[in-house]
């Protein structure tokens, strides 16, 4: 066995794969505060004390969490979620609205936490709507999204009186008006409040954005083709609907405001046309979500208060340019609220040295609990969690146990070279789009989600069992 340690001699440098990470961190046990949950610590104490160096989340030793809840498990720091939710609300101020995009992770507990902190909730299916309603969320605080809302979903949204419906196609505008008439024929005040989703031709990811004239994607009404103007025209013309404003969402994991600036410019230009044509003031501008977080040390995520002041000044200056009143600003962060709060705990299984290249560390989960690496080359940070180690760094790839060679959880990392089967590994920033995109591939039960707060832990999403899966097989 020859584990690839770093730094290494010339032989190592010769064979090191081109896509290796830049350099090992100075201290493999360190927890970068920009990446790990705010309540993550390594236990202090005196050498010889069995807990020294063990990762604790929300004040609880990860070995206790693994013993009680099993692995893999997603451990979510409640205080972290609440504090980020509050930061968004405080940064954007009383005259703006923040909606949590439940697609990032949708559970009753989390929807209650964020609404208690002053946020609304975005849902995009009847399933997410059912979770929100069963959590007791006030329907007025809910926005319904989706490019193909089923008639039953529209009907339910109208019947319960959700706060906003974001329309995405001409068929849907007609369907919505029909259901509104069926359910609330008399009450003008209860008409569905409609946001028209505009495709601005801006696509943004991390540091890059593209502003194009064509809109080759499934969401929204194209500005370039005039469809957005026509959608507004139809909504305003229908007495069953209340035109509330315009919506735009440009992408995900965005680190700067350049893309938002172009999108806001284009949407507010439309707002100017709406005012000129209909005499109607666009009261609300929803600029969507997509605010980036740090997964690895190289990710330089924006501070929320800077983001808020840039977006507000962008909107204000564009409104001056178009001679229109400033609409109420809404944003819809998902990842930015729950992403950094959560750590996935895995148990290490096999450890295989691919001689001279790297060490493959297999864990007891994989692409069924975190498909983001396989799906879009997402990067993650991980550490040995059940102890600390002074062993030299070992160039590693953390892989799952599925029958796919692309079943990778962390493509590049350095782990201590004394890593052993049964050690616990923690992968950071897995709160968004991991459990919500989880699957039962290879008939693996999906992991539970455990909330930790002030030294107490409780499951908020139960771990699936094989019996759960077998119950569905009715053949």
In 3D, which of 126, 141, 131, 140 has the Cα closest to residue 110? 131
In the bound complex, what is the minimum distance in angstroms from residue 293's beta carbon to ligand PLP? Answer: 9
Among 153, 242, 332, 407, binds ligand PLP (CB under 6 A): 332
Peptide bond into 362 cis (omega under 30): no
- Which member of 39, 259, 333, 448 binds ligand PLP (CB under 6 A)? 333
Site string for ligand PLP, 127-166 (x = CB under 6 A): ------------------x---------------------
In whole angstroms, give the CA distance from residue 58 to residue 78. Answer: 8
Q: What sign does the CA torsion over 427, 80, 332, 203 have?
A: negative
Stretch that binds ligand PLP, among 105-113, 170-178, 334-342, 421-429 (CB under 6 A): 334-342
106 catalytic residue (yes or no): no
In 3D space, the residue among 22, 90, 43 whose CA is nearest the CA of residue 395 turns out to be 22
289 contributes a contact to ligand PLP by CB under 6 A: yes
What token pair was written down for 336?
């930015």
Nearest approach, Cβ of 143 to ligand PLP (angstroms)? 9
C-beta of residue 388 within 8 angstroms of C-beta of residue 52: yes
> Minimum CB separation from ligand PLP for residue 99, in Å?
8
Q: Determine the Cα–Cα distance for residues 164 and 167; give it in Å rounded to an integer.
A: 9
- Exactly one of 66, 104, 264, 304 binds ligand PLP (CB under 6 A); that residue is 104
Whose structure tokens read 């609404």? 115
Q: Which of residues 46-85 bind ligand PLP (CB under 6 A)?
A: none
Q: In angstroms, what is the minimal distance from the CB of 281 to ligand PLP?
A: 23
If one asks whether residue 431 binds ligand PLP (CB under 6 A), the answer comes out as no
Query: In 18-39, which positions are buried (b, 16+ CB within 10 angstroms) versus exposed (e)?
Result: eebbeebbeebbebeebbbbeb
Residues binding ligand PLP: number (CB under 6 A): 17
Is 291 a residue that touches ligand PLP (CB under 6 A)? yes
For ligand PLP, the nearest residue by Cβ is: 334
Q: Which of 58, 72, 126, 290 binds ligand PLP (CB under 6 A)?
A: 290
- The gap between the terminal CA atoms of the chain, to the nearest Å, is 47
How near is the Cβ of 415 to ligand PLP at its closest, in Å?
29
Non-local (6+) Cβ contacts of 269 within 8 A are 322
- Examine residue 260 and tell whether it contacts ligand PLP (CB under 6 A): no
* Catalytic choice (106, 124, 382, 403): 403
The answer to whether the CB of 428 falls within 8 A of the CB of 410 is: no
Judged by CB under 6 A, the stretch of 126-134, 169-177, 270-278, 288-296 that binds ligand PLP is 288-296
Q: Rule CB under 6 A: is residue 340 a binding residue for ligand PLP?
A: no
Which of 71, 200, 222, 252 binds ligand PLP (CB under 6 A)? It is 252
Asked if residue 114 binds ligand PLP (CB under 6 A), the reply is no
Binding window for ligand PLP (CB under 6 A); candidates: 37-45, 273-281, 328-336, 449-457 = 328-336
Pick the stretch among 57-65, 70-78, 174-182, 286-294 that binds ligand PLP (CB under 6 A). Answer: 286-294
DSSP per-residue letters across 239-262: TT-EEEEEE---EEEE-SSHHHHH
From the list 248, 245, 226, the residue with the least C-alpha distance to 235 is 245
Q: Beta strands 142-144 and 40-42: pairing type?
A: unpaired
> Rounded CA gap, 141 and 130, in Å?
14
Enzyme catalytic residues: 403
Q: Would you tell me which residues interact with ligand PLP (CB under 6 A)?
A: 101, 103-104, 122, 145, 249, 252, 288-291, 332-336, 432
């Amino acid at each position: 066995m020859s584990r690839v340690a770093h730094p290494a001699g010339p032989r190592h440098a010769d064979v090191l794969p081109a896509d290796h990470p830049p350099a090992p961190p100075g201290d493999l046990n360190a927890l970068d505060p920009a990446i790990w949950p705010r309540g993550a610590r390594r236990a202090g104490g005196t050498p010889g004390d069995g807990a020294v160096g063990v990762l604790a989340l929300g004040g609880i030793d990860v070995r206790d969490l693994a013993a009680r809840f099993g692995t893999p498990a997603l451990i979510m720091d409640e205080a972290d979620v609440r504090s980020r939710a509050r930061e968004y609300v405080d940064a954007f101020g009383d005259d703006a609205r923040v909606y949590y995009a439940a697609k990032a992770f949708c559970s009753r507990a989390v929807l209650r936490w964020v609404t208690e902190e002053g946020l609304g909730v975005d849902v995009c299916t009847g399933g997410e709507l059912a979770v929100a309603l069963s959590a007791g969320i006030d329907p007025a605080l809910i926005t319904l999204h989706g490019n193909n809302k089923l008639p039953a979903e529209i009907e339910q949204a109208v019947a319960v009186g959700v706060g906003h419906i974001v329309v995405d196609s001409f068929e849907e505008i007609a369907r919505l008006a029909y259901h509104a008439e069926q359910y609330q024929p008399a009450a003008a005040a209860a008409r569905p409040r409609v946001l028209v989703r505009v495709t601005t031709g801006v696509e943004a990811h991390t540091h890059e954005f593209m502003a194009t004239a064509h809109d080759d994607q499934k969401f929204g009404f194209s500005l370039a083709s005039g469809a957005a103007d026509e959608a507004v025209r139809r909504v305003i013309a229908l007495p069953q609907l209340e035109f509330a404003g315009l919506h735009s969402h440009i992408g995900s994991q965005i680190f700067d405001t350049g893309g938002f600036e172009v999108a806001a410019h284009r949407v507010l230009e439309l707002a100017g046309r709406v005012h000129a044509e209909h005499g109607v003031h666009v009261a609300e501008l929803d600029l969507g979500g997509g605010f980036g977080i740090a997964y690895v040390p190289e990710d330089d995520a924006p501070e929320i208060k800077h983001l808020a002041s840039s977006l507000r000044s962008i909107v204000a200056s564009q409104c001056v340019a178009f001679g229109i009143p400033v609409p109420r600003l809404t944003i819809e962060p998902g990842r930015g609220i729950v992403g950094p709060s959560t750590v996935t705990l895995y148990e290490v299984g096999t450890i295989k040295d691919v001689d001279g290249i790297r060490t493959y560390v297999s864990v007891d989960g994989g692409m069924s609990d975190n498909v983001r690496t396989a799906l879009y080359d997402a990067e993650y940070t991980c550490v040995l969690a059940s102890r600390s180690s002074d062993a030299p760094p070992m160039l590693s790839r953390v892989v799952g146990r599925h029958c796919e060679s692309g079943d990778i959880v962390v493509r590049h990392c350095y782990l201590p070279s004394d890593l052993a089967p049964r050690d616990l590994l923690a992968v950071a920033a897995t709160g968004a789009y991991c459990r919500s995109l989880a699957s039962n591939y290879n008939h693996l039960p999906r992991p539970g989600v455990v909330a930790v707060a002030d030294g107490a832990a409780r499951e908020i999403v139960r771990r699936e069992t094989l019996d759960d899966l077998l119950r569905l097989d009715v053949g």
